[in-house]
Amino acid sequence: MLRDFPWVVVRMRCHFCRRGGDVRLAVFAEKYGAYATLGHLVIQFIKGCEWAPWNPTRRPQKYGMKCGGYCMDLRRPDPPDLPPGMSGLHLIEGGLSEKLPASPPEVERRKRVGGD
């Protein structure tokens, strides 16, 4: 439900038509109510897509493309609008022993046999 969504901005995208939109949570709550589900909002987003399965201008196709509308931040652990400098330091696995050498090792060349 919208009242349980943790972020301020709701971001919607589509895989096929490259549509997208960022809407503030308060705007969605005002328009659809605080108890509207994100699934309902994704369906509302899909209705504007030309690849929507219930679009009357399209013929039904067994293997045709369908709208790829989705909400980007449903399972995201950190806020989508958090600046990179505020996310903190990240530990990178590995160390000096895994460091690549500065120059490539010598490759053993095959010698020609016979002739000059």
Residues 6 or more apart whose CB falls under 8 angstroms from that of 54 comprise: 47
Beta carbons of 66 and 47 less than 8 angstroms apart: no
Q: In the prediction, which pLDDT does 95 show? A: 67
Beta bridge partners of 11: 22
For 44-67, what is each residue's pLDDT tens digit?
A: 888 877 777 777 777 767 776 677
Q: Residue 40 and residue 46: Cα distance in Å, rounded? A: 10
Q: Does the reported pTM lie above 0.85?
A: no
Higher pLDDT, 69 or 101: 69
**Mean pLDDT (the chain, rounded):** 79
